[in-house]
Amino acid sequence: MLLKPIFAAAAAASFGILFNVRGKNLIFTGINGGFGYFIFALFTSHNYESYIGMFFASLVMTIFAEIAARKIKAPAAIFLAPALIPIVPGGRMFAFVLHLLEGNNQLAVADGIATLLQSGAIAIGIIIVSSMTKVMMGLLHMKKSYK
């Protein structure tokens, strides 16, 4: 179970290079990708649906990215976008298109719904944390301005 998160960290760091992430930021991107995949694998190994694991993995990854962004003073997207690559449902999307082209509508619909659930879970996890971060930062700035 520990080998896949290590490969996920390497994949996230590799995509970080493609996204022009440099230096220590690249290390944090890899750590975020590996840890996020570990969370995903933890949920799926306990027989939860994959979209549940993806939701909690994206929550944890976005929290990590927001904290790293504040500490290092860099955009959260450089820690999050490459790190999400290992949990993106690309294989399921490929299967959806393949079944659609083959005319196997039942499997295409099943794969399409699963892909929407998985990608929607990732998006909702990101939205929740990002929105809460913006609200909390706004409250902190308001508190500082009243002093």
d(CA 125, CA 119): 10
- Number of Cβ within 10 Å of residue 36's Cβ equals 33
Name the more confident of 23 and 146.
23
d(CA 140, CA 135): 9
pLDDT for 56: 98
pLDDT for 135: 94
Q: Please state at what angle helix 24-45 crosses helix 50-72, rounded to 10 degrees.
A: 160
Q: Is the pTM of this model over 0.85?
A: yes
Which runs of consecutive H residues, i.e. helices, occur in the chain?
A: 3-18, 24-45, 50-72, 77-84, 90-102, 105-146
Per the prediction, the chain carries an average pLDDT of: 95
Query: Which tens digits make up the pLDDT trace of 80-113?
Result: 999 999 999 999 999 999 999 999 999 999 999 9
pLDDT for 86: 96
Query: Which tens digits make up the pLDDT trace of 54-67?
Result: 999 999 999 999 99
Task: Extract the tokens encoding 4.
Answer: 């896949």
How far is CA 50 from each of CA 23, 39, 43, 82, 106, rounded to the nearest angstrom?
A: 32, 11, 8, 20, 20
Task: Extract the tokens encoding 146.
Answer: 């009243």
d(CA 30, CA 9): 4
Query: Which tens digits make up the pLDDT trace of 19-32?
Result: 999 999 999 999 99
